[in-house]
């Protein structure tokens, strides 16, 4: 049974989709654990949500690129007696440029944040959810995980495809224990993501109908995990793109990906 005030752990909570999850879950009566690297933003968000919703928001700053970060974070939760009911694996970013243009440390940190950290956090927190008979896990993947991988941001689509397949397996393994798992797969979303990767000017050339707000992505994502959807793509345009790509021959889909990616990828 879900407690009166569920506790949600949100990674990458300092901006964008992560901050939108914090605001919407707080409005639904959740207490929060907020983690990211930017302490000032986390503290400002925690203060805002406490004043607006009387939310108890615990700030635990961590850099998930550190190998020990997931265990250290979970150890801190245990010491404070905090039991996580909702896990939002949202932390992520893109590495612009081709695969060999970046050093291995850059790629290793990316794989730790996008793959290893969410996997370990789920492994550490799922047993408690199962024991209590209720839990929710949202792994923020991407429409990129459903379409051919483009040149540039080489590991991004691959990492998101992993989150999708992994979430499907977790959903099947845990639904009878009262735990729903969902891979949320947004397309283009208004956030700081493209500012960080240096592609904002290119992204601004895309038509407005291809974009969703972080708030809308999160609203649909919360509804999807509550329904028990193992994978959910917010936005009719994004779902259409995924369907069309599946219908195309692989060679044609890859050619289209190569052509279109030149418009918004730094290679």
Q: Classify residue 12 by burial, with Cβ atoms within 10 Å: 0-12, 13-18, 19+.
A: buried
Distance (Å, whole) CA 3 – CA 138 = 18
Distance (Å, whole) CA 112 – CA 257 = 26
Task: Name 221's bridge partners.
Answer: none
Structure tokens at 244: 């069309």
Structure tokens at 20: 């939108």
Structure tokens at 32: 């929060």
- Cβ atoms 165, 231 nearer than 8 A: no
Number of Cα atoms under 13 Å in the Cβ half of residue 62:
27
Catalytic hit among 93, 156, 232, 264: 156
- Cβ atoms 208, 237 nearer than 8 A: no
* Residue 103, CA distances (Å) to 94, 107, 109, 267 in order: 14, 7, 10, 15
Number of Cα atoms under 13 Å in the Cβ half of residue 60:
22
- Cβ atoms 231, 164 nearer than 8 A: yes
Give catalytic status of residue 156 as yes or no.
Answer: yes
- HEC profile of 192-231: CHHHHCCCHHHHCCCCHHHEEEHHHHHHHHHHHHHHCCCE
Annotated catalytic sites, by residue? 156
């Amino acid at each position: 049974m879900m407690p009166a005030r569920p506790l949600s752990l949100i990674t990458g909570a300092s901006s964008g989709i992560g901050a939108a999850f914090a605001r919407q879950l707080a409005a639904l009566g959740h207490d929060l654990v907020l983690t990211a690297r930017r302490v000032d933003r986390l503290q400002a968000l925690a203060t805002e949500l406490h004043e607006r919703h009387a939310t108890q928001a615990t700030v635990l700053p961590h850099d998930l690129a550190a190998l020990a970060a997931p265990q250290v974070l979970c150890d801190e939760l245990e010491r404070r007696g905090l039991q996580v009911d909702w896990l939002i694996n949202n932390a992520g970013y893109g590495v612009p440029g081709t695969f060999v243009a970046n050093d291995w440390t850059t790629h290793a940190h990316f794989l730790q944040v996008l793959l290893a950290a969410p996997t370990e956090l789920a492994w550490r927190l799922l047993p408690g959810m199962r024991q209590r008979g209720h839990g929710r896990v949202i792994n923020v993947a991407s429409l990129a995980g459903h379409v051919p991988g483009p040149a540039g941001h080489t590991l991004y689509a691959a990492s998101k495809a992993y989150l999708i397949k992994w979430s499907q397996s977790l959903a099947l393994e845990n639904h009878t224990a009262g735990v729903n798992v969902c891979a949320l797969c947004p397309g283009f979303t208004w956030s700081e993501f493209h500012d960080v990767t240096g592609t904002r000017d290119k992204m601004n050339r895309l038509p407005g109908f291809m974009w969703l707000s972080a708030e809308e992505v999160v609203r649909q994502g919360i509804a999807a995990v509550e329904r028990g959807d193992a994978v959910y793509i917010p936005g009719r345009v994004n779902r259409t793109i995924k369907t069309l790509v599946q219908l195309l021959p692989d060679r044609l889909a890859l050619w289209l990906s190569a052509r279109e990616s030149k418009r918004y990828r730094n290679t």
